[in-house]
Amino acid sequence: MNTVNLTMAIVLGGLYATGFYLLLQRSLMRVLLGIVILGHGANLLLQLAGGSQAGRPPMLGDAPIERMADPLPQAMALTAIVITFALTTFLLALAYRAWQLLGHDEVQDDVEDRRIRRLEAELAEADEETERELDSEATR
């Protein structure tokens, strides 16, 4: 029961790796695809959590209980699929809105990052000025 199918494990690893890679991209469309792929990975993981052996459908009277597949992870995966589907649609609409408003779909820099960069630029400018002053004093 507790042995994991190697093929499934490799597929899962691939899905998670691809998902996280896409999540780190700057284009919103890729981020969105990353979330979709991660969602697939998670759903597959739920399936795998139910045990790897193939079972009969979990219908009472259809099969002896010990040969039935575990229905709980399937129910959970079904719920999760619906939720990820709905949220993906919402995210698509949001991405379209962003594209409408801004004309591109690049993820913006962090607010604090921008503040620090501005501060850095100001400081560098001030440094240059004092250096120039010192230079001019030296030549005088």
Partner 1 sequence: MSELVAVPVLLPLAAAGLSMAFGRFADVQRLLGLLVLGVIVVDAAVLLYFADVHGPLVLHLGGWAAPVGIALVADRLAALLLLISVIVMFAVLLYSIGQRITDYGRGTASTTFHPIYLVLCSGVSLAYLTGDLFNLFVAFEIMLASSYVLINRRTTASRVRAGMTYTIVSLSSSVLFLTMIGLVYAATGTVNLADLALEMGQLPPAPVRALALLMVIVFGVKSAMVPLHFWLPDSYPNAPAPITAILAALLTKVGIYAMIRTQILVFEREPSWPLMLTLAMATMIVGALGALAQNDLNRMLSFLLVSHIGFMLFGLGVYDIAGLTGVILYIVHHITVQATLFLVSGLITRYTGTVALSRMGGLAKISPLVAVLFAVPALSLAGVPPFSGFVAKLALLRSGIGVGTVWGYVATGVVVLTSLLTLYAVARVWSRAFWGQVRDPEGDPDPTDELVVGTGDTSPGMVRATGVLVLSTVLVAALAGPLAEVSRRAATDLITGEAYRTAVLGGDSGG
Enumerate binding residues for partner 1 (CB under 8 A). Answer: 19, 23, 28, 31, 35, 38-39, 41-43, 45-46, 48-50, 72-73, 76, 79-80, 83-84, 86-87, 90-91, 94-95, 97-98, 101-102, 107-108, 110-111
Question: Could you tell me the smallest distance in angstroms from the CB atom of residue 139 to partner 1?
Answer: 40
Between residues 116 and 126, which has the closer beta carbon with respect to partner 1?
Answer: 116
CB of 109 to partner 1, least distance (A): 10
CA 84/CA 20 separation, integer angstroms: 16
Kindly state the smallest distance separating residue 124's Cβ from partner 1, in Å: 20
Other Cβ atoms less than 10 A from the Cβ of 113: the count is 10
